[in-house]
Amino acid sequence: MRTEMLHGMRTKLGHTPGGDLDPADWQGLRAQGHRMLDDVFDYIENIRERPVWQPVPDSVRARFREPAPTAPTDLAEVHEEFMRSVLPFATGNVHPGFMGWVHGGGNVAGMLAEMLGAGINANLGGRDHAPVEVEKQIVKWVRGFFGFPETASGLFVTGSSIANFIGVLVARTATLGVGVRHTGIVEADKRLVAYVSAAAHGCIAQAMNLCGVGIDALRIIPTNDRHQIKLDALEAAIAADRSAGVTPFLIVGNAGTVDIGAIDDLSSLASIAHREKIWFHVDGAFGALAVLAPDLAPRLAGIERADSIALDFHKWTQVPYDAGFILVRDGALHRDTFASPAAYLRRETLGLAAGMSWPCDFGPDLSRGFRALKTWFTLKVYGTDALGAVISHTCDLARYLEHQIIASGDLELLAPVQLNIVCFGYRCKDSNRLNAKIVVDLQESGIAAPSTTMIGNRLAIRAAIFNHRTRKNDIDALVKAVRALGNAGVSTFAT
Ligand SMILES: Cc1ncc(COP(=O)(O)O)c(C=O)c1O
């Protein structure tokens, strides 16, 4: 730890009355900046020596309750506080033992890019500058990943929750016309309904809420034993809605369900949607970018026929948070869903305000950070082959874990392993309580950090292997610890 070295090395930034916020002593700032960079490199390089996660002690939490500072503090001192109170108590998803929820591991190239991006402090809402060209280049690349036409549009957003919301809004425009932006759905002559499987992420219902159509207009279609949407049930629901006089406007397919990583039959969904003239959106939050892995890409067949796709670079492709993305086949419709003329955003043919379409025309945000830069660095530095190989490798590790579970005798698999997510439990009479306790104990042990989910009425230990640093020995450590904790707890929970 380098924090002790920081004492006595004070970095005064500009806080002379009437002065700017830059340092009076640039040499001192450089030295301090390098120390900060070294500390974060140390953190990542030696991540395996740390616990995956540790609870935030009350004494540390108390420090975050201090009032807003009115007077300056030395940069070195704030850095020291970060090293003491923030870094050791982070989520832990940089660690190879982190297997909870759907968290990417980040990468050093993306991290450095984030620093460069912050340095030029670009605002990607619009205007004519190279950062917007970087984002446009990624839009072009993403079109290529999915075989979308040149006229397709794309936009970086925070994450798939917002990307899915944008997809739902464009689908709403496709059915009700751009006039709905003014009249709202209250004035619409159609009552809209949408369809998604029971395995969908909660952000789809949230998007229905936010777009004003309402959560009750989302038909939840049952799934088969592989957690994929039942196509016959979907078709029956569409037919029933049409006979009842309501208008189906959207089918959402899953490319990697959040609980177990199931991929819907996207090809059949595309055919149903096209036949029925319904917008076909794919929630590919993590799974869509499996198109980069040649062994997995065929499983996504049909995604290239979607009208829109939500995906996250911050998940399986390891870009530091956040880097969500929406891709829309009909770029003009996408633009028409959001573009709003304003005198203060006037477009010119020359000068800084040049360009007919700005990123702010494709989403609700005007000011936007440079998410594209860390994604650009990640894609360029590693290349899509290596990122695809990471994705494949995490699926190999999931299969390895599946084999360990099957071979163990005392562990049981609770859902089919389809990608990189394994849902399992320690066998026991009161297994839900025992497995919930195992997960908390595991997280607190610092050995591994899976999360939980419900598979039917069974609580599962859910190991979602997204981190590019995870290896077989991390899986072995997880299995060993679960078995030990299960063994120790089984007598309490069996009765
Ligand atoms: C399938 C799926 N959809 C949507 C989301 C929401 O994505 P985000 O957290 O990036 O908003 C997630 C998050 O894990 C997800 O797994």
Give 156 Cα–ligand 1 centroid separation in angstroms: 15
Which ligand 1 atom lies nearest to the CA of residue 159? 10
pLDDT of residue 491: 84
82 DSSP assignment:
I
On whether the CB atoms of residues 223 and 262 are closer than 8 A, the answer is yes
pLDDT tens digits, residue range 269-301? Answer: 999 999 999 999 999 999 999 999 999 999 999
Which ligand 1 atom lies nearest to the CA of residue 312? 10
Give 43 Cα–ligand 1 centroid separation in angstroms: 27
Q: Is 420 in the pocket of ligand 1 (CB under 6 A)?
A: no
What is the C-alpha separation between 460 and 453, in angstroms, rounded?
A: 5
Give 194 Cα–ligand 1 centroid separation in angstroms: 19
What is the C-alpha separation between 172 and 175, in angstroms, rounded?
A: 5
Which ligand 1 atom lies nearest to the CA of residue 102? 14
On whether the CB atoms of residues 421 and 461 are closer than 8 A, the answer is no
Q: Is 47 in the pocket of ligand 1 (CB under 6 A)?
A: no
Q: Is 161 in the pocket of ligand 1 (CB under 6 A)?
A: yes
Q: How far is CA 149 from the centre of its chain?
A: 25
On whether the CB atoms of residues 422 and 439 are closer than 8 A, the answer is no
Give 202 Cα–ligand 1 centroid separation in angstroms: 9
User: Which residue in 295, 266, 8, 323 sits closest to 142, CA to CA?
Assistant: 323
Q: Is 258 in the pocket of ligand 1 (CB under 6 A)?
A: yes
Among 102, 157, 289, 303, which is best to mutate for testing ligand 1, by the most ligand atoms less than 8 A from CB? Answer: 102
Q: Is 259 in the pocket of ligand 1 (CB under 6 A)?
A: no
The first and second tokens of residue 309, run together, are 């796709």
Q: Which helix (H) or strand (E) holds 374?
A: helix 371-408
**156 strand-pairing partners:** 325
Low-confidence ranges of the chain (pLDDT < 70): 1-12, 14-16, 494-495
In 68-145, DSSP assigns E strands to 98-99
Q: How far is CA 330 from the centre of its chain?
A: 24
User: Residue-wise over 257-284: b if at least 16 C-beta within 10 A, else e?
Assistant: bbbbbbbbbbebbbebbeebebbbbbbb
Helix (H, G, I), strand (E, B) or coil at 281: strand
Return the ∠ at Cα 453 (arms to 102 and 467), rounded to 5°. 25
Q: pTM for this one?
A: 0.96
User: Which residue in 287, 219, 206 sits closest to 249, CA to CA?
Assistant: 219
Give 466 Cα–ligand 1 centroid separation in angstroms: 13
Nearest CA to ligand 1 atom 16: 258
pLDDT of residue 9: 45
Give 290 Cα–ligand 1 centroid separation in angstroms: 15
Q: Which amino acid is at 231?
A: L
Q: Is 462 in the pocket of ligand 1 (CB under 6 A)?
A: no
Among 203, 208, 210, 252, which is best to mutate for testing ligand 1, by the most ligand atoms less than 8 A from CB? Answer: 203
Give 161 Cα–ligand 1 centroid separation in angstroms: 6
